[in-house]
Amino acid sequence: MMNQFGVLTIKTTKLFGESSIARILELVENASSKKAETEKFIRKFAKVYTPIVVFLSLAVAIIPPLLMTNPIDADRFHWVYNALVLLVISCPCGLVISIPLGYFGGVGGAAKRGILVKGSTYLGTWIY
C-alpha cells in the first residue's frame, strides 16, 4: 500500500531487531553464505584453473621467442596469437559463470513470485 496524500501516525510495539522484516533481511543476508555444492566446487575449480591457464599462456607468448635462434621462428606476433588461442580454447567461462548465475536467477525468480529461498543449497535440492 502506498500513502501519497495523507499523514500516518504509527506506533511500534517491538524493536526493529524483533520484527518480521528484520528476520527476513537476516535470512536474505545469510542466503549468500549457503552455497550449493556445485557452486562451491566451481568456485574452487576456477581459483586453481584460471591462474594456471593464464600463466601457461604467458609462457607460450614469452618463452618460445626467447629460445628460438632463427628469427623467422621467433616471430613474436605468432606466439602471442598462439597464447591467445590457448586462452580461448581453455576458457571455462560458460561453466564458471553459468552455475552461480543459474542459482542466482532461481533465487531471484522465486523471490519475484513471493517465495523466499534461504540459499542456493535449498534450491539445489529441488532441482534433483
* pLDDT tens digits for range 113-128: 877 776 666 666 544 4
Note whether residue 92 is domain-resident. Answer: yes
Note whether residue 50 is domain-resident. Answer: yes
Q: How confident is the model at residue 83 (pLDDT cuts 50, 70, 90)?
A: very high
Residue 57: count other Cβ atoms within 10 Å of its Cβ.
20
Three-class SS state of 23: helix
Note whether residue 18 is domain-resident. Answer: no
The 8-class DSSP code of residue 69 comes to: -
Q: Nearest-CA neighbor of 49 among 91, 13, 11?
A: 91
Amino acid 128: pLDDT: 43
Note whether residue 70 is domain-resident. Answer: yes
Amino acid 60: pLDDT: 92
Note whether residue 41 is domain-resident. Answer: yes
Note whether residue 99 is domain-resident. Answer: yes
Domain count, the chain: 1
Mean pLDDT across 63-82: 81
Note whether residue 25 is domain-resident. Answer: no
Q: Which domain holds residue 83?
A: 33-127
| One-letter amino acid of 111 | A
Q: What is the pLDDT of residues 17-59, one digit of tens each?
A: 777 777 777 776 776 666 677 777 877 888 888 889 899 999 9
Note whether residue 38 is domain-resident. Answer: yes
Residues 62 and 56 sit within 8 Å (Cβ to Cβ): no
